[in-house]
Amino acid sequence: MSKDTTDPRNWQLATRLVRGGTARSENGETSEAIFMTSGFCYDSAEAAEARFKNELPGFVYSRYENPTVAMFEQRMALLEGAEAARGTASGMAAINAALTCQLRAGDEIVSSRAVFGSIAYIINELLPRFGVKSTMVDGTDLAQWEAAITPRTRVVFLESPANPTLEIVDIAAVARLAHRHGARLIIDNVFATPVLQRPLELGADIVVYSATKHIDGQGRSLGGVVLGSKAFIEDELAPFLKHTGPALSPFNAWVLLKGLETLELRVARHVENAARLADAIAGHPGLAAPADGKPALLYPGRADHPQHALAMRQMAGGSNMVAFRPKGGKAGAFRVLNALNIIDISNNLGDAKSLVTHPATTTHQRLTPDERARLGIGDDLLRLSVGLEDARDLIADLSQALEKA
């Protein structure tokens, strides 16, 4: 029997990305419409009453739901293989909502230490104000996870590959430890992208994205998304979003919908470029000596990444992120940044344009030197998000800059 092509869950990834969630208006537009409206009208007073009581389907107010945003959410849910999804104004709004909607005083959260800076603020500073106890562990050490997760742990949080050191955490193993105590595992899957890593299939319960990154992919808009079971999204997350208001704008949802159409193609080229660049630069005389048993250039797709085998087990490619240490410490790293002609100095990532940043003085400058050292963020570390330019130009640009380290 041939497949039922009316059910989008039977479609392959590329088809889901181009067509998933599309809901055409009576005009039959080819491209998804942008519904720039804050509110919606009702045919009668009775209809308004029924919609507010959830007895009639339909939109009520764009802080709750909007047709363009709903298309983005459905396409994301199909892509991720999740039962449901909700869009938010930024990645941080998604992460804050995913945590805050389910944590209460007396609960505990366990997180890997290597998380995005603003996430560390929420976990270490904000949540404890409301009586949530937080513990951070070295994400690569399963014994630390095992010791930290207790029956009081409600949420376990991690990012893999981690920013900016590209450490890999064993998602399936941490999911088993979390579930043993009835805790839920949330994965920040930004660095891997939904194309390369499928956390729900590895045992995670909830996945969050900054859609600002590869999902837009062209540096145009902020956005975020939370994905999980229908029960979690509708009963726990949706009321929190509805009443606290970090809503995704319909225009930005449309930009993200258009981004999704080309996501698989772009990620494939991102990964191809990153792999070529990493191979061309590894061993460059402008790189520092190996330290702590790690090479001066780290790329999860290369065999010399300390966790290469684990990375290849849970990811379908090495990502587009490369971390490397030029020789000459911070001054050497700055000389390399300032010598680049094509690659831009910027803290964003997942963009069509290649972007490089010095985490110790930008994204991670809030941390103390000790905390940075513990995370492996030296003063010489650079983090490169490889874009969609011709790899030969990127290799030439970085090679000439490394000569000036």
Ligand X SMILES: *Cc1c(COP(=O)(O)O)cnc(C)c1O
Footprint of ligand X (CB under 6 A) = 90-92, 116, 159, 163, 188, 190-191, 210, 212-213, 222, 224, 349
Question: d(Cα 295, Cα 244) in Å, to the nearest integer?
Answer: 46
Containing 135, the helix (H) or strand (E) segment is strand 133-137
* Assigned token pair, 78: 């199909």
Nearer to ligand X, 190 or 355 (CB): 190
Residue 7 C-beta: closest distance to ligand X, Å: 32
Tokens of 309: 């085998």
Least Å distance, CB 399 to ligand X, is 27
Closest distance between ligand X and the C-beta of residue 188, in Å? 5
Q: How far is the CB of 154 from ligand X (least distance, A)?
A: 21
Nearest distance in Å: CB 218, ligand X: 14
- Parallel/antiparallel/unpaired status of strands 184-188 and 206-210: parallel
For residue 396, report the phi and psi dihedrals to the nearest 5 degrees: -65, -40
Q: Which is nearer to ligand X, 224 or 286 (CB)?
A: 224
Convert 361-397 into a string of H (helix), E (strand) and C (coil).
HCCCCCCCHHHHHHHCCCCCCEEEECCCCCHHHHHHH
Q: DSSP string of 256-300?
A: HHHHHHTHHHHHHHHHHHHHHHHHHHTT-TTBPPPBTTB-SEE-T
Between strands 355-357 and 382-385, the pairing is antiparallel
214 and 270 in contact (C-beta within 8 Å)? yes
Of residues 159 and 264, the one with the C-beta less far from ligand X = 159
Distance CA 396, CA 403 (A): 11
Judged by CB, which is closer to ligand X: 194, or 224?
Answer: 224
Is there a contact between 340 and 398 (Cβ–Cβ < 8 Å)? Answer: yes
* Nearest CB to ligand X, comparing residues 95 and 343: 95
Residue (210 or 273) nearer to ligand X, CB? 210
User: By beta-carbon distance, which residue lies closest to ligand X?
Assistant: 91
For residue 242, the minimal CB distance to ligand X (Å) is 20
**Judged by CB, which is closer to ligand X: 92, or 166?**
92
Look up residue 156 and give its amino acid.
V
CB of 176: closest distance to ligand X in angstroms? 23
